[in-house]
């Protein structure tokens, strides 16, 4: 009997100790979100969201798509290693979405596609919140993309994995306040854009900023990347990111007669503004609103396209008044796992 009591008492003490350690880790993690501490720790956080929408109509007086099915998946996560004055930060954003509809013979139409990875290593300047930091960033997509407003779009892909692919390498200063706030500025940042010759040979001006028939483009410029994340309360969180890039080598492109065919200069700053808002309805059910805005002088917008017969045809898609601004907005209601 006494032996059993000792075992139970030992188990209780052990469980209390384990719970205390867990609470301690949680408290440390919460503190490191808003403060810079001299510590050695691995920190990770993220949102994995998956949603689906299905619809079916028969003899419906109001009309509509007879049958449709949409899938959306989104992941946004970070892994951070702190070792006293050293910090290694990794951020990964992935997204993919497909829509199937009866009117298009259930041929999948892509609604979202993104790969965005950033890795930074910083060395803290003593007694300040500034770090000497090196940064690497990679952007691309998973699968081929099409302009579905164009007839015979299946034969006219507009992009694919690594076409384009963007690689950025930069060195500069970073201001950090815990893991929630990061402001990185580099006066010297190299960016390499790569693409298959198929895409750069479709138009005389090339594609994705790469000249006609070539597969790469190198830029050197100034780069800013700012991130902010906040847990508004137990169920709500918001993350935003702003990237700016100015190419020192940018200049007007001219044809063989000296006429300017494309205006460009270092003042044409590339802009990426990313936003994710998440609200948890229950333990595993939530809705997420994601909005991304991009301006890139190398990705012009045209309100017309050239069909396979060589005729210039005006597009009928909505949102043409936004011009060269790239906009992506996704709303997902579905399963979410947050860690």
Residue-by-residue DSSP string for 50-83: EEEEEEE-SS-TT---SEEEEEEEEEEEEEEEEE
pTM (predicted TM-score): 0.83
The 8-class DSSP code of residue 227 comes to: E
In this predicted structure, the answer to whether residue 95 has a pLDDT above a threshold of 90 is: yes
CA-CA distance, 215 to 202, in Å (whole number)? 13
Assess contact for 168 and 136: CB atoms under 8 A.
Answer: yes
Within 13 Å, how many C-alpha atoms sit on residue 197's CB side?
2
Both structure tokens of 242: 């702003």
Does residue 165 have a pLDDT over 90? yes
Residues 49-66 have pLDDT tens digits of 888 888 888 778 878 888
pLDDT above 60 (res 3): no
What pLDDT shows up at residue 311? 73
Least reliable range by pLDDT among 97-111, 168-182, 270-284, 321-335: 321-335
Q: Which of 18-32, 181-195, 247-261 has the lowest mean pLDDT?
A: 18-32
Mean pLDDT for the chain overall:
85
Total residue length of the chain: 339
Q: How is 186-210 classified by DSSP, letter by letter?
A: EEEEEEEEE--HHHHTSSTT-BTTB
Q: What ranges make up the beta strands (E) of the chain?
A: 40-56, 67-83, 86-101, 109-124, 130-140, 145-146, 157-159, 165-177, 181-194, 216-231, 236-247, 253-254, 260-262, 270-280, 285-295, 304-306, 312-314, 326-338
- The answer to whether 95 touches 115, Cβ cutoff 8 Å, is no
Q: pLDDT tens for residues 216-237?
A: 999 999 999 999 998 888 889 9
Confidence of residue 254 (pLDDT cuts 50, 70, 90): confident
pLDDT tens figures, 111-153: 999 999 999 999 998 888 999 999 999 999 999 999 887 888 9
């Amino acid at each position: 009997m006494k032996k059993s009591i000792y075992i139970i008492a030992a188990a209780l003490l052990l469980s209390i100790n384990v719970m205390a350690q867990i609470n301690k880790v949680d408290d440390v993690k919460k503190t490191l979100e808003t403060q810079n501490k001299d510590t050695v720790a691995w920190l990770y956080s993220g949102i994995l969201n998956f949603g689906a929408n299905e619809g079916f109509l028969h003899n419906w007086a109001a009309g509509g798509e007879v049958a449709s099915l949409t899938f959306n998946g989104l992941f946004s996560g970070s892994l951070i290693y702190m070792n006293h004055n050293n910090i290694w930060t990794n951020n990964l954003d992935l997204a993919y979405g497909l829509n199937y509809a009866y009117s298009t013979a259930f041929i999948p139409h892509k609604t979202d596609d993104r790969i965005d990875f950033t890795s930074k290593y910083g060395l803290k300047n003593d007694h300040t919140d500034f770090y000497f930091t090196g940064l690497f960033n990679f952007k691309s997509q998973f699968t081929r993309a099409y302009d579905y407003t164009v007839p015979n779009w299946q034969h006219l892909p507009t992009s694919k994995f690594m076409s384009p692919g963007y690689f950025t390498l930069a060195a500069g200063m970073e201001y950090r306040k815990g893991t929630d706030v990061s402001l990185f500025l580099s006066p010297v940042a190299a960016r390499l854009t790569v693409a298959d010759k198929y895409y750069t040979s479709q138009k005389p001006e090339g594609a994705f900023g790469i000249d006609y028939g070539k597969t790469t483009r190198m830029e050197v410029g100034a780069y800013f990347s700012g991130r902010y994340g906040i847990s508004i309360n137990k169920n709500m969180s918001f993350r935003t990111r702003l990237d700016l890039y100015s190419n020192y080598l940018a200049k007007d492109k001219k044809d063989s007669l000296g006429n300017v065919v494309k205006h460009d200069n270092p003042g044409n700053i590339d802009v990426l503004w990313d936003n994710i808002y998440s609200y948890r309805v229950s333990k595993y059910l939530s809705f997420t609103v994601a909005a991304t805005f991009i301006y890139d002088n190398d990705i012009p917008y045209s309100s017309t396209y050239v069909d396979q017969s060589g005729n210039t045809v005006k597009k009928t898609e909505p949102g043409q008044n936004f011009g060269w601004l790239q906009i992506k907005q996704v709303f997902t209601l579905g399963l979410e796992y947050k860690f």
